[in-house]
Amino acid sequence: MVTKTMDEQEEDLFEHYNYVADNGQEKLRIDKFLMDRIPNTSRNKIQIAAHNGNILVNKLKVKPNYKVKPKDIISIVLPYPVRELELKPQNIPVDIVYEDNELCIVNKAANTVVHPGYGNYDGTLVNALLYHFNNLPELPSDYFGRPGLVHRLDKHTTGLMVIAKTENTLTNLAKQFFDRTIQRRYQALVWGDFTEDKGTIDLYIGRSIKNRKLMIGYPNKDHGKHAVTHFKVIERFGYITLIECKLETGRTHQIRAHLKHIGHPLFNDLEYGGDKVLKGTSFTKYKQFVENCFRLFPGQALHAKSLGFHHPTLNKEVNFDSELPHYFLEVLNKWRRYTNSSTF
């Protein structure tokens, strides 16, 4: 008998399995033990996980030949499992910031869904990756149905994503996301001014009961998952503020839901109420100015600006940075001119 629990991250694409071996457990290699219990996996995938330090027994890393004993507490982190979904390569441009034999860094454009799903069966970043990278496995069963992905961005969120090109790197990066050692910084334009220059939002978030597409804050883990966002002010414009957000966790809509909860929704966030004039004057000219800014954004004003992690084969920390999209910069310049002048 085995006690099992499973924790699924929603934004970071990995699964965490926990097992407790029964008192009568016979000695058995851990790769065989786990292969018999985890769906849609193989001994090779489990051995790769072990070699990357993704398997812990009693909080210690073990090799694939470790023999499971009674009452052992076993933890394993794996990339997301197979999804029954036909994936087809499509010739869609991809902005590649960096590439080597193990991984690449892409700068995701706005209005781009990361992977196929309900209502978005093609035209996604995954379809583009399958076209541009010949060494990505062609069958969904070979690559968990989401080639190379260990995290994702919302459709209208722009910026940096890391894409794994080998299964070893995919597994290694999944563990880094699970351990929260990945460095992710975003820049966001939000409504309102802040009384402080920096702060931390530590709040459980889960799906709204009224609208299942939205995430909202909850006081405890009964309805949500623990999420932590650190922020600091970059530039103040009076009615709106440019901030940097650093993620500790990777929950669905985390930044958007957290900032909405504290009264600072993202500028032009169509789902979280930021697409209305929330601060400022009642003058028609001001409203027209804001609406002109809205029209420049395809969605919420959020950009994944920098990404840092331990490279699985170079064995060193690597960091990448990206420029804000041109329309984001244009809106910032408009607000600078507005705050420095009483006229438009």
Say yes or no to pLDDT of 1 above 50. no
Q: Does residue 148 contact residue 271 with C-beta atoms inside 8 Å?
A: no
Per mean pLDDT, which range of 4-18, 116-130, 180-194 is the poorest? Answer: 4-18
Residue 91 lies in a domain: no
pLDDT reported for residue 10:
47
pLDDT tens profile 30-73: 988 898 788 767 788 888 888 888 999 999 999 989 999 999 99
What average pLDDT does range 96-109 have in this prediction? 94
List the structure tokens of 32: 């065989």
Rounded to an integer, what distance in angstroms lies between the CA atom of residue 166 and that of residue 157?
26
Crossing angle between the packed helical segments 43-51 and 167-178, to the nearest 10 degrees: 60
> Which of residues 176, 203, 223 is at a domain's end?
176
Domain count, the chain: 3
pLDDT reported for residue 81:
55
Say yes or no to pLDDT of 137 above 60. no
> Which of residues 147, 176, 205 is at a domain's end?
176
Task: Please check whether residues 64 and 30 belong to one and the same domain.
Answer: yes
**Averaged pLDDT of the chain:** 86
Say yes or no to pLDDT of 157 above 60. yes
What CA–CA distances, in Å, run from 18 to 51, 64, 66, 70, 75?
A: 18, 16, 16, 15, 5
CATH of the domain at 242: 3.30.2350.10
Domain residue limits at 23: 2-79
What average pLDDT does range 73-87 have in this prediction? 71
Task: Please check whether residues 262 and 333 belong to one and the same domain.
Answer: yes
- Of the two residues 234 and 212, the one the predictor is more confident about is 234
pLDDT tens profile 13-29: 677 888 998 888 888 89
Residues in the chain: 344
What average pLDDT does range 255-260 have in this prediction? 96
Which residue numbers are catalytic?
154
Q: Does residue 251 contact residue 182 with C-beta atoms inside 8 Å?
A: no
What average pLDDT does range 248-261 have in this prediction? 94
